[in-house]
Each structure stands twice: as C-alpha cells, then as structure tokens.
Amino acid sequence: MQQSVMKAWWDSSHMAGGNAAYVEELYEAYLDDPNSVEDTWRDIFDKLPKLDGVALEANHSQIRDEFRKMAALGPAARVPAAAASGSGAVSDDKQVKVLQLINAYRFRGHQHANLDPLGLWKQARVRDLELSHHTLSERDFDTVYNVGSYAIGQDSMSLGELYKSLNRTYCGSIGAEYMHITDTEQKRWLQQRIESVQAKPEISRDEKVSILKGLIAADGMEKYLGAKFPGAKRFSLEGGDSLIPMLKGLITHAGTHGTKEVVIGMAHRGRLNVLVNVLGKNPSVLFDEFSGKHDESLGAGDVKYHAGYSSDFATPGGNVHLALAFNPSHLEIVNPVVMGSVRARLDRRGCEDGSTVLPITIHGDSAIAGQGVVQETFNMSQARGFKVGGTVRIVINNQVGFTTSKIEDTRSTQYCTDIAKMVQAPIFHVNADDPEAVLFVTKLAMDYRNKFKRDVVIDLVCYRRHGHNEADEPNATQPLMYQKIKKHPVPRQIYADQLTAEGSIDDHEVEKLISDYRAALDHGACVVDEWRPMTEHSVDWSPYLGHDWTAPYDGALSVDKLKELARAMCRVPDGYPLQSRVKKLYADREVMAAGDKNLDWGMAENLAYASLVDTGVNIRMTGQDSGRGTFFHRHAVLHNQKTGEAYMPLQHIKDDQGKMEIYDSVLSEEAVMAFEFGYATAEPRTLTIWEAQFGDFANGAQVVIDQFLSSGEAKWGRLCGLTLLLPHGYEGQGPEHSSARLERFLQLCADHNWQVCVPSTPAQVFHMLRRQAIRPMRRPLIVMSPKSLLRHPLATSTLEELSEGVFHNVIDEIDDIDAAKVKRVVMCSGKVYYDLLDQRRKDERDDVAIIRIEQLYPFPHDEMAAIVQSKYKHVKDWVWCQEEPQNQGAWYCSQHHFWASIPEGGKLTYAGRAAAASPAVGYISVHNQQQKALVDDALTL
Ligand code: AMP
C-alpha cells in the first residue's frame, strides 16, 4: 500500500529520475523502521500525513500534496542542505548518495573490516560500500558534502576525506554492528563514540606499556607452562593473548566508574592464564596442581581449568572484588549462573540498576552459536526477575571448535555472535592482533553497558596456536590454518614491534619486561600488580560450613503467632477487586487463619513464607507460573481486576520484614535453574526456590542438575541451598505430566549431597520449607510436590500441626491400628499414600500398616528404626508401594535403604506399575486400572 502511494506521487510529481527511486527506497525503509533513515529524512517523513489504511484514497492525495509542497519549496526542503563551498558543484542527487554511503558503512562496514589476524576469512564483496554503487567516483573526491549525522565533529567534508574516514572508522580492526538497534538514542550514542575518534582514539604511553605487559604476561605464562609441563593440558590462550590486557582494562575501567564487584564466567580456554594474570592466583599453587598436589579439603575436586577463584583488584575507583565462577565442561551453562550470582550481589547491595556489580561472560565461537542456553540467557537479560543491568560478553573467537572450523559446519550465519541481535545488543568484532582496538571496544562496551543497562558483545577474533589441548595435533584437521599460524608472529611480538617502531618503548625495555615476568613466575610470586587480598567480603559463609542434614531445626511457632501471620498474609488493600475464584479462596484462607477450618496446601505453603519473612529471611521464588501456581493453588501474587496491577500480600506482613520476591519466569528451565543456582551459591541468607511448571520439565535443565546441583559441593566446595519444587504424581495426565523423574534425583544421591523429599501434608510442606531456611545447612532440596493433593480432602493440617515445629522424615501409621495385629507394613511416599489409606479404610482392614517416607534421601534410618523396633519388629511382610513404573520411582535406587529398614528375616516386595519405557500411560482408563491394581497389590496379603 505504502509503495503504491509513493509511486502514485512520483508519477504525478516533477521530481523524478535517480532521486525518485532513492527517496522511495528511503521512505520504504522509514515506514519499516523510522530510525533506519537519516534524521533529516526522518524529519521530512514525519511531517507527512500518516496512512491509516482505511481512507486509502484520501491518504494518497494527502501524501502527494505534501510531496508537491516539498518539491515546490526546492531542494533544501527535500534533501539535507548541501555544503555551499567546495571545488566541485554539489548536486542534490550526489548529496543524497553521500548520505547513503555513510549509512552503508554504518550498516555494512564491518563486512570489510580487517578482523582476522590470520587473513583467512573470505570477505564477500559488499557493493553498498563501493562508490560506484552510489553513482559516486574518485572524480567527486574534491567535492565537499554535508555529512549529516556522521559524528566526525564537522558538518561537511570532501568526499575523499569522508571516504578515507569511513574506511578507517568502519573497516579497520573493528567491525561495529549496531544498526540493528532500533533505539535512536543508543544508535546515536554509539555513532558518536565510534565516529568521533574514527574508532582509534589516542592512547597514552602508560596505557600502551600496560597493554604490552598484559600481552607479555599472557604469552609468558603459556610458554612457561609449556616448557615446565610439556604435553599437559592447559587449554592455552595463545593466539587470543589480548584477552589479558582486555580483561584488566575492563576491570580497571569498571572500577573507575563505580563497579564494586565483577563476576566472571568462562570455559577452559585461557582460564589458567586468566586465573594467574588477572585474578592473581599464585602461580606456585597452579604449578603444584600441575604436579598433582591438591587441597584435601576440597572433596572430590575438579580439574584445574574448571577452578573458580576470588580476589580483589585495585583500580583508581577503589578495590573491585573479583569472583571467577567454578565451571563444568558443559559450555555456556555458566552464563546464567554468573547472572544469578550477580543478581544476588546486587540485591545484597540494594542496587537495582546493576551499576555496582558487573557480569562478564567469556564464550567460545562455536559454543555461543551452538548452545541453546545462550538464547535462553539473552532472553532473560531484560526480564524483570533476572536482569542485572547488562552483561559484557566476550567471545574468544579462535575460529575453531575442537576440530571443527568450517563456518558451514558450525553455524548458519556469517558471525558466531548473531544470536545477540535477538536482544539488539551491539556487537563489536575486533582483530585480536590490534590490542589498542581491543581496549577501545572494551571501554566502549563497558560504557554502553553502564549507560543503557543492556548486554553488549565483543567478538575477539583470534586464533588458537595449538590444538584443542596441547596433546592434540591440529594439522590433522586444519592443515592450512596451522601452516599459517606457524608463521604468524605472537601478539606480544607484533605489538612490541609496533611500539618500538613508533618510539614508545625500546627493545631493551621490552626485554626487561619479559625477563621480569619470567623471574616472577620463577619465584612463584603473584604477577598481578593490582591484586589485593580479599576485603570486600560481602557475605560470611562460615555459619553455614560443616553442617549436615541432621543439624537441628527449631521451627516452633505458637498458634497465636501463626494466626497473626495468616491474617497478615490474607490482607489485601481495602476495596481491592479480586477475581471471584480468588476472592473465595482468600475468604477460605481467612477461615483457616481463624482456626475454623483445616489448612490446605496453598495456605500452609504461603504461611511458611510469611513466617520466614516475618523473621527477616529473604525469599526468592521463580518458575513458570509461580505467582499464581500452575494448579491455581498458590495465589501469592494477586491481580487487580480493574487495573491488572499485581499485589503480593506476602510483601506486607510487617514493616521490617525480609524481602519477598516471586517472579513468573521466562519459559526456560535450563537457564532459569542455572540462574537460581548462581543466586543460591552467592546468597545463603535467602531461601531460593525454583519451581517447575510440571516436574518432568526439570529435565530441560539436566545439565544444571548433574553438573551443579548434585555435584557442585563435592567438586568445588561451594554450598547451595536451592530448593526445587517439582510437581509429581500419577493422575492420569499422560506420560508428560506425571513424573518429575524421581529416580534421576535418587540415582545422583551420595555424600549427603542434597535432600530429596516427598511431603504429603500441608504441615509437612510448611516445616520442610522453614527447615530449609532456618537450619544452617545449605544443600539443595529436591521436592516432589503435589498436584491433585493440593485439594485432597485428607491432605489438610491443623494450625497445631504447624505449630509443633518439625518436619517428619518418616510418618508412621496414623489410624488407630493395633500394631500387634499388623501382618504387613506398606512403605510409600507421596500421593499414593492417600489411595492406599482410602482403600484400606474402605476394606476396614487392620492388618496392614502404612508408613510414609517423606524424605527419601538422606534416608532417615534412625527414625525408621525407632518406628520398626517399637511397633513392627514382628512383621515379616514388607512392601514398597509406588505409582511409578518399576524401573522408575524409588524402587531401584532406594531399595537398599528399604531393606536396611525392615526387621531381620523380613521380606520386601514391590507393588507398583510394571517396568515401562514411558513414565505413564496416555489412556485414563488404563491408568485407572493400573492404579487400582497397584493399590490392591500392596494391600492384599
Ligand atoms: P565470592 O564472593 O564468590 O568471591 O566468594 C568469596 C568467598 O566466600 C570465597 O572465597 C569462599 O570462601 C566463600 N564462598 C563464596 N561462595 C560460597 C559458597 N557457595 N559456599 C561456601 N563458601 C562460599
């Protein structure tokens, strides 16, 4: 439609020819995105009547009239004012073309930038960057043109000067991609910063020497390790040496501008180098690790290139605390962990805009393009519950992933960083052999992040001097690249030659810097001048160290206090319009609060939170639909039916209460769970909870469960009190929504690494959550949480049961059954208990007792023994009953605990579904048959 309007106007106007096509093109671009055209053109187009698509003819004629008016006013109204002076005559047409040329460089200059140190990248011809494409030529070089918004500091330039300047700015060692950003302020800001210095600011001699020292350190460290431990895996940084002066420059710049803490996440490549040359890890400790020595206190330990580290770093703005996050081999998964850790630190500082804590994540080129968690992380970057004021993301782009380097094998886009465009992050590709350019984009990136609080990406284009590790032979797979690398001088050499050639330093000084660095390594001394011992100890972990799951939990609260809290958590502002079902639910809660009705699950769970924030504990819960609850049961977040605004009664328990946060999360499991792991490992004083929409979805975060939650403490000595709420239960909803895959969690149990609980009553969930927050032990809590049980008439509790103050790891028979008459004891966990109880009551049986095991791991042997010895010593017939198929659930993984619990001479049998490939059947009738059969099986002697 718009096109036809333009065409109609051109056909009827006297403005025709080259201009017509171009302005038409511009107008089209403007209609797509007003920010994509020059300010001058935007102003013109803005003044045109808007099309509304209904009164088409009227709009046609209006638009034509407007253009006619512009044409009548002459060229000045149609095109940006041409420069009056200059040796050549300025035509409107050429002036337009010049502006078009500037735009082309801003959009596509990066495609002709000199980014690859090896010169292997094949650059496609970009016609937009050619003068001829714009019907310009060198013959126009002397003509002076208006340069529009080109931020060079002058309004006009000769085309020759401009052409040189554009090439220097956009096609040198930096390829800046930012024209995909729709926000004009950001775009203008970036243009100003880049164009005003033609992407190459003057830098001081001191800064140059400091860059050189960084390169000497990067190179020296690898050479030293290579000589001392030949063939040992170190995942050398060589080729990407600029990373060291880059990181140091980044931290210094950040510290100078108010950053107090930096959290870094990175994979193995270059990690040892960063540990020693940036974080100031003592090289002698690293050498000991190479020699096989290790710190016995660190449990199972991990390889040295996964190790984290903490230190302080002196900057002109004060010391900055540095934390390098521990990392598994799974690439990119550390990114959301870092963000979670940063969010916790920001919360601790009460800093909402992210200005005091900086996340830096370092990526590989293949991984950033290949791993899905990158997309999830970018998607979280501006979401309310997860934003951290932007992350500086650096890609060590060594152009090869292990042995795979061909672009057509590794990705589907020209750049590995294209994923960042999904959040409109600016992307700076930079040739790592030009460390001054690297430093320029690093500061620019940092300033952008601080100003706009958004992610920014630096693509450090480099190479990898050796194979994937030092024992690899890269020539087997990348022969041409490695022939080139062999002849390519190291970055230190290139930069030292540059500085000596320009007279900034002499050979002698260079030699001295090299030998000083080597001598420091020989002495095993810290090689980072800025290193400072840690003083910014923002949280003291010592109260949480050395506790096991048997650590006492004193959760007693009087009934009166519970009533007071319950009333507070039901309070909504006067006249707050609630949705009718929610209103009824809250009215019901008020009855429960008065003690006139037993408490249901949602009430008890919310009361646990109210009781914790009341004592100053902070709570953070995220998950898909957590505010309301997947099953319409939580309603911790209310929605005003008139305004849509949210209100959280739990945030209004009392004035000086703990912080209560519940966020409906982005629809991700992997990144969100990883984020919450990062949060919980950085903040032991917050009860951190991640909830799955349905428990089985947690396997979308299997990497987090395997690599961090189950094993993080064993590998790295890092405590984590994260709670996972995973709805689980066989209710005929088919294979996907029945099982939270309990067996997976049980299979990973060892060393008391976490707790796996299946609470069956509201009082139990109340105490379980309070215990997790109050007890000083900080270990993950995996909860098989209920679905239909949320409304089960038998699954209720009294205020007295909440007041009593303990989580029962085992619950003995509750009916009045004479233990002496019991011939069989059925053990079970979770919802099936109520099916068994119901059936046994219907059958009026008194020879079967039912025991609930509410904590499957660590298995409560003592409590079980106490019950068995006092009541069921005589029973020989023991059954484990479960809803899950035999190969799933607790049967295989916990069977040894069940056997250990029963009296000597007793036999243990299984009642449950037959082994199955699928977690549950899809047909409700088959489900019901199976459920009846397993209950009958458990109860029939
Ligand atoms: P960070 O702020 O992460 O650099 O941590 C500072 C120090 O606190 C570390 O060196 C550890 O001694 C301790 N620490 C941090 N996180 C944990 C954790 N999750 N578990 C135990 N100790 C921790």
What are the φ and ψ backbone dihedral angles of 509, each rounded to 5 degrees?
A: -65, -40
Query: What are the chain's domains?
Result: 3-140 (no CATH), 205-532 (3.40.50.970), 559-803 (3.40.50.12470), 812-939 (3.40.50.11610)
CA distance 289 to 298: 13
At 89 the pLDDT is 53
DSSP state of 753: -
Q: Ligand 1, residue 261: give the atom nearest the CA.
A: 2
Q: Which residues of 786-796 are buried (b: 16+ CB within 10 A; e: fewer)?
A: bbebbebeebb
Contact 475 CB / ligand 1 (< 6 Å): no
CA of 450 to the centre of ligand 1 (A): 26
CA of 592 to the centre of ligand 1 (A): 42
CA distance 810 to 757: 10
The residue whose CA has the least distance to atom 14 of ligand 1 is 541
Contact 719 CB / ligand 1 (< 6 Å): yes
Question: Which residue bears the tokens 């007279």?
Answer: 503
CA of 718 to the centre of ligand 1 (A): 7
At 233 the pLDDT is 84
Contact 323 CB / ligand 1 (< 6 Å): yes
Contact 547 CB / ligand 1 (< 6 Å): no
- The string of DSSP letters for 580-626 reads HHHHHHHHHHHHHHTTSS-B-HHHHHHHHHHHHHHTT-EEEEEETTT
CA of 266 to the centre of ligand 1 (A): 17
Sign of CA dihedral 344, 345, 350, 355: negative
Contact 718 CB / ligand 1 (< 6 Å): yes
Contact 541 CB / ligand 1 (< 6 Å): yes
CA distance 564 to 197: 65
Find out whether 852 and 754 touch, Cβ atoms under 8 Å. Answer: no
CA of 756 to the centre of ligand 1 (A): 25
User: Contacts for 195-199 with beta carbons within 8 Å, 24 or more apart?
Assistant: 195/150, 195/151, 195/152, 195/169, 196/151, 196/152, 196/153, 197/440, 198/152, 198/165, 198/168, 198/169, 199/168, 199/169, 199/170, 199/172, 199/173, 199/174, 199/437, 199/440
CA of 548 to the centre of ligand 1 (A): 19
Tokens at residue 331, please?
A: 């690439």
Contact 685 CB / ligand 1 (< 6 Å): no
Contact 310 CB / ligand 1 (< 6 Å): yes
* CA-wise closest residue to 743 among 602, 894, 610, 880: 894
Alpha-carbon distances of 128 from 106, 191, 228, rounded to whole Å:
11, 19, 52
Mutate to test the pocket of ligand 1, among 261, 281, 310, 327 (most ligand atoms within 8 A of CB): 310
Mutate to test the pocket of ligand 1, among 313, 322, 536, 539 (most ligand atoms within 8 A of CB): 539
10-residue mean pLDDT profile of the chain (941 residues): values are: 43 43 66 74 69 41 52 40 44 90 97 96 92 96 96 94 98 98 97 96 96 97 90 88 98 97 94 95 88 74 84 96 94 96 97 97 95 97 98 94 82 94 98 98 98 98 88 85 93 98 96 96 93 84 93 89 96 93 94 95 97 97 93 92 95 97 96 98 98 94 97 94 97 93 97 97 97 96 94 94 92 96 98 97 97 98 97 97 98 97 96 97 95 97 89
Q: Ligand 1, residue 681: give the atom nearest the CA.
A: 19
Tokens at residue 25, please?
A: 């093109």
With 0.85 as the threshold, say if the pTM is over it: yes
Contact 681 CB / ligand 1 (< 6 Å): yes
At 55 the pLDDT is 34
CA of 678 to the centre of ligand 1 (A): 12
Contact 832 CB / ligand 1 (< 6 Å): no
